[in-house]
A = this chain, B = another copy of it.
């Protein structure tokens, strides 16, 4: 399975979109936590607290343990949302894991997020930095440093898409329909 990692605004989503075209199923770790939140009868907004509780109960790999049963065929699955090395180790107990790191400079990520303005996206550089450090607090930097492939996303969307397609052509399944 592919674990795609990158800092906020790096372009993970676009990688995932290209992956779909190549026939991959996507599992967003946060969605699994959100489902678990509802299953526990709690409001969706509490998913952060639920993730925290899960880690207290089952250790740092807790979310990966929760996600693993959802992976039907690891050869055709992209997991989005790995944040720490313990999660990678948990997945490696069961699956063949390839880490894909999407890298993009801090300034470009900030400018993209400002333009995107999705809910939860930072409005100021301070908010942006705060969010970066929140992500890094779980160990995302370690996973990014230990990636098996890197794709840079510094230039245009078209160039990045092309680089993602190259990756899937070399390493993954054929595009759907081929």
Contact = CB atoms under 8 A, between A and B. Distances in A.
Interface of A: 7, 101, 103-107, 132, 136, 139-150, 152, 154
B101 A147 contact: no
B150 A154 contact: yes
A139 B141 CA distance: 8
B146 A132 contact: yes
A107 B148 contact: yes
A92 to B, nearest CB: 12
A6 to B, nearest CB: 9
B7 A150 contact: no
- A interface: dominant SS: mixed
Contact of A145 (B107, B144, B148): B144
A105 B150 contact: yes
Contacts of A103: 101, 103, 147, 150
A105 B148 contact: yes
Nearest to A101: B103
Contact of A140 (B7, B101, B140, B145): B145
Contacts of A152: 150, 152
B154 A7 contact: no
B150 A104 contact: yes
Contacts of A142: 136, 141
A173 to B, nearest CB: 20
B7 A145 contact: yes
Given A103-B147, A105-B149, 13 more contacts: A103-B103, A103-B150, A104-B150, A107-B148, A136-B141, A136-B146, A139-B141, A140-B141, A140-B145, A144-B144, A150-B152, A150-B154, A152-B152
